[in-house]
Amino acid sequence: MLFGECTITFQDVAYQLGLPVDGRYVSGCLQIQKFVVNCTWFRETFGECPEGADEETVRRFARAYIMMLLGTQLFADKSGNRIHIRWLPFVARLEEMGGYSWGSAALAWLYRCMCRVANRHVVKLAGPLQLLQSWIFWRFPGFRPAGYDAFSWPLASRWSGYNLGISKKGPRVQMARLRIDLLQARDFIWMPYSTPDVLQVVHPEVLEPRHMMLWWCVTSLIYFAVVEWHQVDRVLPQFSGVQPPPHPALNIDFLMSMDERGGDRWLPSHLQHWHLHWETRADHVLRFDVVDDPGPSHEFLAWWHQHGKRFLSRELYLGDPRGIPIPVEGTQRGAGRVPDMDRVDDVPDRRRVERRARVGTRRSQRDWRWLDQAMEEGDEAGRDGGRRRGGRGRRRGAAPR
Interval 53-110: pLDDT, tens? 999 999 999 999 999 999 999 998 887 788 888 899 999 999 999 999 999 999 999 9
**3-state DSSP call for residue 357?**
helix
Residues 71/87, Cβ–Cβ less than 8 Å = yes
Q: Are 53 and 293 contacting, i.e. CB atoms less than 8 angstroms apart? A: no
Q: 272: Cβ–Cβ under 8 A, 6 or more apart, which residues?
A: none
Higher per-residue pLDDT: 278 or 350: 278
Out of 28-32, 243-247, 305-309, least confident range: 28-32
- Determine the Cα–Cα distance for residues 214 and 56; give it in Å rounded to an integer: 36
Average pLDDT, the chain: 81
User: For residue 334, what pLDDT band results from cuts at 50, 70 and 90?
Assistant: very low
Burial label for 125, CB within 10 Å (0-12, 13-18, 19+), is middle
pLDDT above 50 (res 282):
yes
Helix (H, G, I), strand (E, B) or coil at 225: coil
- Write down the pLDDT at residue 337: 46
Q: What is the mean pLDDT of residues 226-245?
A: 93
**Exposed e or buried b for every residue in 15-47, given b needs 16+ CB within 10 A?**
bbbbbbbbbebbbeebbeeeebbebeebeeebe
Report the alpha-carbon distance of residue 226 to residue 339 in Å, rounded: 60
What per-residue confidence (pLDDT) applies to 320?
Answer: 58
Position 37 scores a pLDDT of: 87
Q: What's the CA gap between 287 and 218, in Å, rounded?
A: 11
Which DSSP state fits 29?
Answer: B
Residue 87's pLDDT is: 92
Composition of the chain by helix, strand, coil, percent to 5: 55, 5, 40
With 0-12 CB in 10 A as exposed, 13-18 as middle and 19+ as buried, what is 55? exposed
Whether the pLDDT of residue 132 is over 90: the answer is yes
Q: What is the 3-state secondary structure (H, E, C) of 73-127?
A: HHCCCCCCCEEEHHHHHHHCCHHHHHHECHHHHHHHHHHHHHHHHCCCCCCCCCC
| pTM for the structure as a whole | 0.76
- Evaluate whether 52 touches 36 at the Cβ level (below 8 Å): no
Determine the Cα–Cα distance for residues 117 and 253; give it in Å rounded to an integer.
15
Percent of the chain with pLDDT over 70: 74
Q: Residue 47 pLDDT > 80, yes or no?
A: yes
Whether the bond between 50 and the residue before it is cis, its omega within 30 degrees of 0, is no
So what's the pLDDT on residue 112?
Answer: 92
Its sign, for the CA torsion 252, 131, 294, 309, is positive
